[in-house]
Amino acid sequence: MKFTAEEAIQFSKYGCIEEWVHIFLKTIGNNSSFSDGLKLQKRYWLGPIQLSVSELQRCCGPEEHMEYHNPLDDWEKHIETFCDLIQKGWEYPPLIVQHLEGKLIIRDGNHRHEALRRLHYQNCWVILWDSDNPSNLSRWSRLDE
């Protein structure tokens, strides 16, 4: 598997986007604990779709208020690596984003997001999920066509 947006789109067309997410997280995404946590309850999925980079909120980074704090040196090394890859044409995996109380919180892809932001990308590929109700994603469902 290549774990690109195009590949995720193909999985989505067959109603298998959740499976793609778990395969990604358990392999190259290196986030098995997140995958396990997602399986604890029913989730409603949408995407991949393109959303504005500025519309998304990170939950991980060097800032004090972040839910998942990263030391600045480690954070910057990752961002530099991702910026370099993106500039070389890397087809990055879609960010995995939670819709929660009207906010779009990046749960996987915070480093990719920051690299895209620094490279002045306007939009990025995301896979959205909501834990409560699929209608909460209806605002973005037209983008999934």
User: Residue 139's pLDDT is what?
Assistant: 86
> What is the mean predicted confidence (pLDDT) over 65-76?
96
User: Residue 142's pLDDT is what?
Assistant: 66
Compute the distance between CA of residue 140 and CA of residue 138 in angstroms, rounded to an integer.
Answer: 5
User: Residue 140's pLDDT is what?
Assistant: 84
Across-strand partners of 98?
105, 129
Flag whether pLDDT at 83 surpasses 80.
yes
> What is the mean predicted confidence (pLDDT) over 25-38?
95
Q: Which two tokens stand for residue 37?
A: 């946590």
109-144 tens-digit pLDDT: 999 999 999 999 999 999 999 999 889 998 887 655
H helical segments located in the chain: 5-13, 17-26, 32-38, 72-87, 110-118, 138-141
> What is the mean predicted confidence (pLDDT) over 41-63?
96
Compute the distance between CA of residue 37 and CA of residue 98 in angstroms, rounded to an integer.
Answer: 13
DSSP 4: -
Cβ atoms 128, 136 nearer than 8 A: no
pTM above 0.85? yes
pLDDT band at 25 (very low <50, low <70, confident <90, very high): very high
